[in-house]
A and B are shown apart, each in its own frame.
Chain A
C-alpha cells in the first residue's frame, strides 16, 4: 500500500478511537454508577436507554459562552485544555491492540518511555489551568495536582521498569509479544501499583483530591465553561482509556488469550479495567491529601521496589 495513504489511514483510525472510546466509557460510567446506586441514569436522549446523552452534552457544551475571567492570564488559560488533552491522543498512537504488524499506530523503539513521558506532560495542562485562572480554589487544585503527579510518577515508572526487565525490551509490541501466562502472578504487585498510580495521575476517585468538589469546588477547572471544560472532561476519559489499555498491554498480556487471541482480547481486558475504574469511583471515599501522599511514598514505592527485586531474582534464576 502507498506509504502516505497507510500513515493517513492509521492516524484516522487512532483519531476515531480517540473520539469514540472516551464517550463510550463516559456513557458506561453514567449507567454503571446509576445502577450501582439504585437509579436508572440517563434514559431520555436518543431513545434507547439514553445512549445519546453524551452527544447531547457535547452539543450543550458547544452552545455555551466561552468565558475567560477578567483577571486570568488569557493565553495560558485558553491553551491549558489542549495541553491536557493532546498527550493522550499521542499515547494512543503507540499502543498495540493486536498481534499483527498493522495493529499499532506506530511502532516506537522506546515505546514504554514514550507513553509514560507523554502522559506526564498532560498534567502540565491542569497545572497551567490552575495557575492561569486567577482563582484561589483553582490554584489550590493546581498545587494538589502537581504534588500528586510528583508522588505517583515514581511508583508508576518503577512498576513499568519491572515489566520491561521481565520482557527484556522497552518496546510495547515487544513486551506483549514476550508475555507468558505465568507473568500474571509474577508481576501482580507491579500491576496493582501501576494501576493505582495511574488512577492517581488521572485524578480519579479515590484519588480526586485535586478536584474535590466539597473543598475546592472543581480544583483547576473551576473557572472553565463550555467547550474548554468539555475538553478537560474528555481528557479525563481519554486518560482512563489510555491507562486501562496500557495496564492491559504491560501486565495482562494484551492480545494473548484462549481461543487464539487477537485484538478482541485487548478491547475486552481494557473494558473490564475501565469498569473497575468506575466501580472504584462508586465504592471508595476520597483520600485526604496527606493520606494520598503517604500511600504513594510509604506503600506504593516500597512495593514497586520489591517487585523490581523479585523480577530481577526470577529473571536471573530462569536464565
Chain B
C-alpha cells in the first residue's frame, strides 16, 4: 500500500515535469503500471480468499518493481523482487498453509476494524503522497544521460552520504532479529523439553 502511494506520488511528480502536456511513452507506461499496481493492492485487501490476497500481493509488489525499473532504479527493482516476491510472499504463503486457509472465500476475513484501518491507510497515503510530491516536484530523470539508479551509483550514495542511517537501520534489524529469537525461545521452552523427553 505504501509503495503504491509512493508510485502514484511519483507518477504525479513525473506528470509535473516539462512533458506534462505531451507525456512520453515511459510516462504513460509508468502511469498504467501504477494503476495496475493500485488495482492489485485494492484487491489484496478486499478479497475474501486468503491465499488469493497473498497472490495479488505478488502482483502489487511486482508492479512496484516495474515502476522502479521505469525510474531507472534497476538495482532497487531487483532487490524488491528478491526480498519481497522471492522471500516475504513465500513466507506469507508458508504461514497461510499452516492455518486452515480454505479454498474459496473465508466468511470471517473482514475485520471489524476495517473502517479505522481505512482511515489510517488514507491518512498515511495522503501524508506520503504530499511529502513525495513536495520533495520531487521539479525533479525529473534524464533518460538519455548516464544511468542514475545503477548499482554503482546506489552503492556510492548509500555508503558515502547515508552511512549513518544505514548502520542505524542495521542495528535496528539486528535488535528485531534477536528479539524474535528470544520470543520464540521463551514460548518454545516447553516444546523443546517435550521433544527431548520423547527421544
Contact = CB atoms under 8 A, between A and B. Distances in A.
Interface string B108-132: 0000000000000000000000000
A110 B78 contact: yes
Contacts of A114: 78
Contacts of A131: 51, 93, 96-97, 101, 103
Contacts of B104: 73
A113 B85 contact: no
Main secondary structure on A side of the interface with B: helix
B96 to A, nearest CB: 8
B91 interface: yes
Interface in B91-107: 91, 93-94, 96-98, 101, 103-104
A76 B50 CA distance: 13
B90 interface: yes
Nearest to A122: B86
Contacts of A171: 151
A8 B96 CA distance: 41
Interface in A79-136: 108-110, 113-114, 116-118, 120-121, 123-124, 127-128, 130-132, 134
A117 B90 contact: no
A153 B89 CA distance: 14
B43 interface: no
Interface residues of B, number: 27
A276 interface: no
B75 A149 contact: no
A72 interface: yes
A233 interface: no
A143 B93 CA distance: 9
A117 B81 CA distance: 6
Interface of B: 51-52, 55, 58, 74-75, 78-79, 81-82, 85-87, 89-91, 93-94, 96-98, 101, 103-104, 147, 150-151
Given A110-B151, A150-B91, A150-B94, 11 more contacts: A71-B103, A110-B150, A117-B82, A120-B86, A124-B90, A124-B93, A127-B90, A131-B93, A143-B98, A146-B94, A146-B97
Interface of A: 71-73, 76, 108-110, 113-114, 116-118, 120-121, 123-124, 127-128, 130-132, 134, 139, 142-143, 146-147, 149-150, 153, 157, 169-171
